[in-house]
Amino acid sequence: MTMTATAVEATELRKTYPGDVKALDGLSISVEQGEIFGMLGPNGAGKSTTIRILTTLSRPDSGKASVAGADVLSSPNEVRRRIGVVAQGSGVDPVATGRENLMLQGRVYGMRGAALRRRVDELLERFRLAKAADRPARTYSGGMQRRLDIALGMIHSPQVLFLDEPTTGLDPEVRADMWEMIRRLVTDDGLTVLLTTHYMDEADRLADRVAIVDGGRVVAEGTPEALKSDLEGDAVHIELAEPQAADRARELLSRVTANGTQVEGKTVRARVRAGAEAVPRILTALDGAGIAVASVTVSRPSLDDVYFRHTGRSLAAAEEGEDK
């Protein structure tokens, strides 16, 4: 049997910031070499703190971690040589040209002369920036700047690339293009990618495996398909006309449906077998109880349903800071 090497390993990471803000509460992940591993969760879940520790920019209060075979605490310089990092905020110098940005980044890693120039030309071509290479980066579109950010992280041919919210603020078409570009880094270079995201579709379509992070811990982990398949049946989302009827609706539906029923605001979520057949029965029951329905949708389970199952709230609600 072929054994797959571990590229990133974190065990029981804990981190508390001043004011008793618990960012990590025993978080553990294991990332295999050559895979795209996604950490999915809202802002404040602990994703960026994990990235900061794994990239040696912060120290945990306790726990241990290694990246590309190097310990982040005892061998931070070795870790830095083996990784590339693309932070949430752009690291591009807007005044310098794309080429100048890459040349400077290469020199930071000790690259010089013809080898550096060849690597810069290769990356400009690969990330479709060759025609704009000698224009100031401030003239680039958002998608072009983000591609340049990733090229900067790739200048020294790292073994592991960290992408912290790589497509935030990009429109859907540009995001899809970025996903394809990231996927090619893995298939063509054998790179390992660890990305954080709060986009369900990004985690679903891009990541080989996903860790759902909430409250500084991993609450679920697996392939997107495996996580969704754990939720039997179809997902039914019912938006009520009046939020005060939600608890009555949940109680009623828990008697009509076979799976768990949960409430968030004026939305009631249920999982049922053969959703299309179950909806008329559900609507009849609600109507008989005098509960008005604004809309109803039926779909296969999504990662949002998985997140809801494990945390008791949707990712959107968590982003807004609502209580569980």
How does pLDDT run across 76-117, given as a tens digit for each residue? 999 999 999 999 888 899 999 999 999 999 999 999 999 999
Q: What is the pLDDT of residues 165-183, one digit of tens each?
A: 999 888 888 999 999 999 9
Strands of the sheet containing 21-32, edge to edge, are: 21-32, 6-17, 62-67, 70-71
What span, in angstroms and rounded, lies between the C-alpha atoms of 91 and 49? 18
65 phi and psi, to 5 degrees?
A: -155, 150
pLDDT beyond 50 at 243:
yes
Cα–Cα–Cα angle for 70, 71, 74, nearest 5°?
Answer: 120
Instruction: For the chain, give every residue range classified as CATH 3.30.70.270.
Output: 232-300
pLDDT for the residue 322: 45
pTM to 2 decimal places: 0.83
Statement: residue 1 has pLDDT above 50: no
Q: Up-side HSE of residue 17: CA atoms within 13 Å toward CB?
A: 8
Residue 3 has pLDDT above 60, yes or no: no
Specify the CATH number for 232-300; select among 3.40.50.2300, 3.30.70.270, 3.90.1150.10, 3.30.470.10. 3.30.70.270
Q: Domain 6-227: what homologous superfamily?
A: P-loop containing nucleotide triphosphate hydrolases (3.40.50.300)
Scanning the structure block, which residue is given the tokens 């779909």? Answer: 299
Q: Is the pLDDT of residue 224 over 70?
A: yes
- Asked if the model's pLDDT at residue 189 lies above 60, the reply is yes
Lowest mean pLDDT among 33-47, 185-199, 236-250: 236-250
Residue 69: predicted pLDDT: 94
Check residue 258 and give its pLDDT: 53
The upper half-sphere exposure of residue 56, i.e. CA atoms within 13 Å in the direction of its Cβ, equals 19
Where are the CATH 3.40.50.300 domain residues in the chain? 6-227
Burial class (CB in 10 A: 0-12, 13-18, 19+), 323: exposed
For 24-51, write each residue's pLDDT tens digit: 999 999 999 999 999 999 888 999 999 9
